[in-house]
Amino acid sequence: MQDNIIPIVYEHPNAAQTSCSTAHTWAKKPREPEAGEKVELIARIKNMLIEQDAVLVAHYYVHPDLQDLAEATGGIVSDSLDMANFGNQHPAKTIAVAGVRFMGETAKILNPEKRVLMPDLDAECSLDLGCPADEFSAFCDAHPERTVVVYANTSAAVKARADWMVTSSIALPVVKHLMAQGKKILWAPDRHLGSYVQEQTGADMLLWQGSCIVHDEYKAQELIELKAKYPLAKVLVHPEAPRAVVKLADVVGSTSQLIKAAQNTDADTFIVATDNGILHKMRILCPHKIFLEAPTAGQGATCTSCSHCPWMAMNGLLNLAEVLERGHNEIHVDPAIIPRAVLPIQRMLDFAREIKLPTRGIGNA
């Protein structure tokens, strides 16, 4: 075993013989409200957002109802960094985050004086779970000569141990910038994104071996077969997908970059290898184009994966309404960590401004 491989502790579908071991997570997926109930819930949430001086920020991977509601109420649907930035710039006193825990934490780190609520605090991320702060800190201690670059999908404590935070669309410029300074990099937690960046830049990178349970499931052979059926289709792939799948892509990019590619690429049909929550936005922006999900089942499949994140699926209208009503599920980040955790985030934001990369559109998972 290489010295940079650390066992990952999270419930991967492969862990169970007969069923997907994220079943406990799926079990927390909120019930789908009936049509009439949905209308009433949306009206109630809209009122509560106004009454509580709150703004809803949602990720592209959450339920379409939440994406639409965020936009209809003056909030935002975007990637995690835009979500946090938006909350930072918006005057609202409360930020309701429909996404996963690290997004709520990032919003809190950037807005420590604001109340940050989430529909379900158990909405995690396999990348975050697979990079415990104590093990990561020991890994950093073992390689003190390396500059520590972490992906947004990490806990506040892991960010507090990093020199830089990156998201998927700024990862390449940041690593090139560090390379130009002769820096060696310690990268965490996503091994697929890390090896993609390494391949593109030639940087000296030591990779933590985490992965996203959703993107890990895309299958190259089945994608080749699907491409054969749709020879004119363009393939859009998020770099958290395995290398064999990335190699088949016409466009590799973050969520925001893939949405832009869907809009700007001259094709009628797209095969999309990222969480299928993103298809909602793509179909709204490109109503005459066809979007197909990249295959996850097939040779070597560990479950009949549905191309959807079980933790993102924990967000719904019902638990959002409940959270606003009861004011619970508030995100807390240890105040002692915040001043350190904000540094790698701020460094990235400053760099984005320096290279004139708009922060709106810097994607993450």
Residues making contact with ligand SF4 (CB under 6 A): 61, 100, 125-127, 153, 212-214, 275, 309, 311-312, 365
255/359 with CB nearer ligand SF4: 255
Instruction: Tell whether omega for the bond before 189 is within 30 degrees of 0, i.e. cis.
Output: yes
48/107 with CB nearer ligand SF4: 107
Torsion, Cα 158 196 248 153, to 10 degrees, reads: 10
Torsion, Cα 74 80 86 91, to 10 degrees, reads: 90
Q: Nearest-CA neighbor of 342 among 100, 101, 117, 88?
A: 88
Cβ of residue 305: shortest distance to ligand SF4, in angstroms? 11
Q: How far is CA 248 from the centre of its chain?
A: 22
**What span, in angstroms and rounded, lies between the C-alpha atoms of 88 and 325?**
23
22/41 with CB nearer ligand SF4: 22
Cβ of residue 225: shortest distance to ligand SF4, in angstroms? 24
Cβ of residue 128: shortest distance to ligand SF4, in angstroms? 7
Q: Which H or E run contains 292? A: strand 290-293
Tell me the helices (H) and strands (E) count for the chain, helix number first.
16, 12
57/178 with CB nearer ligand SF4: 57
Cβ of residue 329: shortest distance to ligand SF4, in angstroms? 17
80/85 with CB nearer ligand SF4: 80
Place of tokens 């709106």: 360
**What span, in angstroms and rounded, lies between the C-alpha atoms of 7 and 362?**
30
Cβ of residue 71: shortest distance to ligand SF4, in angstroms? 21
48/120 with CB nearer ligand SF4: 120
Cβ of residue 364: shortest distance to ligand SF4, in angstroms? 8
The token duo for 54 is: 């709150």
Report angle CA 210, 238, 292 to the nearest 5 degrees.
125
Cβ of residue 155: shortest distance to ligand SF4, in angstroms? 12
45/312 with CB nearer ligand SF4: 312
**Strand order in 147-151's β-sheet?**
164-166, 147-151, 185-188, 205-207
Cβ of residue 130: shortest distance to ligand SF4, in angstroms? 9
**DSSP single-letter state for residue 59:** E
344/363 with CB nearer ligand SF4: 363
